[in-house]
Structure 1
């Protein structure tokens, strides 16, 4: 780990936490929350890279990449990332940790804020409204806003503490943490890809088995050899076009639409 003077103060982390309220403002179907995430940490990046405009530009562009996490838990990631950057940790290893935290924090945040606290407060204040307490809707909003603010500040502080107090531990084990984060990230993304990508062969052929003629679906043969083979191949193709050929999402959508229509009309794809 490179030793360097810290440029960020506690106030900078608090500002980043408050800017997390604007996470969804730049939402798009290309990078999801990428634009909003970069906007959250931009003031911190400016202080860290104030003497190197090219490094600031690169760091900002790098953080425009795809990201999708619960808005209430994102301060933990932003504070942790800024603290590690401020302490001179390797950028690629920080990115691995950032991406690995995306899935777990999305699930935790949804479970707490959307499926836990929101239904609880809704039940309480709906009962109060039925009982004739007219201020119930306002009380519900105040409680929800207050809880979300508390959760954001708490997680922002925890991310800051982990990124500063535990920096020595992280620096000693950063390679193992980074490798584990990469493995988790690849496993999760691969599982999601083959689960959500729908592609099946519609080709069938006739064969004779034990003297009886039977129709065998080619997709069944593929599934016995390697389940979800075709979705995996489609995912690899898309990854190649993005990473090696610099295709954007619009080109990919057009290509996939054309392949899907032609494959369906020709009877190759089901």
Structure 2
């Protein structure tokens, strides 16, 4: 790892933060924010790898993959990753930390923007509007824009400062940090899979007891006793296999899952 002759300045990191305003403009169901994320860091990549077009191409292709983070927190990630590239860190180490930051920062950003700042300003300016203050709607809009701008720039600066200081002091331990980030990422994804992938088998049968009563036996309850959320895990593994090994697109996966869901529901084998 070579950390001398750094090519990026604070201005480059702030530039990436400002470009993240267009993070959602190329949103699609294949890579989500992938194209917008690459757009945000592209000038930085071009500056770092100005003398090595193959490296530039490799880093660009690596960062056009699926990504989905709160837009206001994105500059923190872009700054951290650009700092790692500028210090010569391995592409997989940078990717691991980038992916590990996606979930936690999304939760923090959503909480701040949607459940903190927006309700606060809504309450203030709604009251002013009800009192007949004509500037209230524009005041709300301006306050939201300014506060989100401050957060975005602050995240970019914090990512730059934190990224460069951590890499300078922990350069020999980046691989271990990357491995830990991988573990965190897998844990978060596993939790999301079992929470948001909803699938159950409604098949059940009735058995006649010796005393003449009936006992209903549900197949889903039996599966849950063997391993809770087993069907959700199986579906997640199948989808992962199709993406990773068969290179299926999101649209193709959606068509498959919709077909299976509809047919399963009609036939009574999925609920």
Range into which the TM-score falls when normalised by the shorter chain: over 0.9
The answer to whether 1:59 aligns with 2:55 is: no
Q: Which residue of 1 aligns with 2:257?
A: 256
Q: Summarize deviations over 1:15-45 as a string: whole Å, max 9, x none.
A: 1011111111111222221111111111111
Q: Return the alpha-carbon distance in structure 2 between the equivalents of residues 165 and 219 of structure 1.
A: 52
Judged with a 3 Å threshold, the aligned counterparts in structure 2 of structure 1 residues 213 and 145 are, in CA distance, closer, same or farther, namely closer
Q: Return the alpha-carbon distance in structure 1 between the equivalents of residues 137 and 268 of structure 2.
A: 56
Q: Return the alpha-carbon distance in structure 2 between the equivalents of residues 181 and 260 of structure 1.
A: 34
Q: Which residue of 2 aligns with 1:175?
A: 175
Whether the 8 Å CA contact 1:48–1:86 is kept in 2: the answer is yes
Whether the 8 Å CA contact 2:206–2:217 is kept in 1: the answer is yes
Judged with a 3 Å threshold, the aligned counterparts in structure 2 of structure 1 residues 172 and 127 are, in CA distance, closer, same or farther, namely same
Q: Which residue of 2 aligns with 1:106?
A: 106
TM-score by length of 1: 0.92
Q: Return the alpha-carbon distance in structure 2 between the equivalents of residues 131 and 265 of structure 1.
A: 55
The answer to whether 1:23 aligns with 2:28 is: no
Whether the 8 Å CA contact 2:3–2:168 is kept in 1: the answer is no
Q: Structure 1: which 5+ runs fail to align?
A: none
Q: Which residue of 1 aligns with 2:50?
A: 50
TM-score by length of 2: 0.92
Q: Which residue of 1 aligns with 2:194?
A: 194
Q: Return the alpha-carbon distance in structure 2 between the equivalents of residues 252 and 135 of structure 1.
A: 48
Q: Which residue of 2 aligns with 1:154?
A: 154
Judged with a 3 Å threshold, the aligned counterparts in structure 2 of structure 1 residues 267 and 125 are, in CA distance, closer, same or farther, namely closer
Judged with a 3 Å threshold, the aligned counterparts in structure 2 of structure 1 residues 54 and 119 are, in CA distance, closer, same or farther, namely same
Whether the 8 Å CA contact 2:202–2:268 is kept in 1: the answer is yes
Q: Which residue of 2 aligns with 1:84?
A: 84
| Bigger Cα displacement from structure 2, 179-188 vs 135-144 | 135-144
Q: Summarize deviations over 1:178-233 as a string: whole Å, max 9, x none.
A: 12211111111111112221221233244466666533111111000001101110
Q: For 2:69, what is the secondary structure of its paired residue? A: coil
Judged with a 3 Å threshold, the aligned counterparts in structure 2 of structure 1 residues 257 and 135 are, in CA distance, closer, same or farther, namely closer
Judged with a 3 Å threshold, the aligned counterparts in structure 2 of structure 1 residues 130 and 169 are, in CA distance, closer, same or farther, namely same
The total of aligned residue pairs comes to 270
Q: Summarize deviations over 1:160-189 as a string: whole Å, max 9, x none.
A: 011112213332332332122111111111
Q: Structure 2: which 5+ runs fail to align?
A: none
Q: For 1:88, what is the secondary structure of its paired residue? A: coil
Q: CA deviation at 1:115?
A: 1.4
Whether the 8 Å CA contact 2:167–2:174 is kept in 1: the answer is no
Q: Which residue of 1 aligns with 2:125?
A: 125
1:207-222 paired onto structure 2 within 5 Å:
207=207, 214-222=215-223
Q: Return the alpha-carbon distance in structure 1 between the equivalents of residues 92 and 74 of structure 2.
A: 19
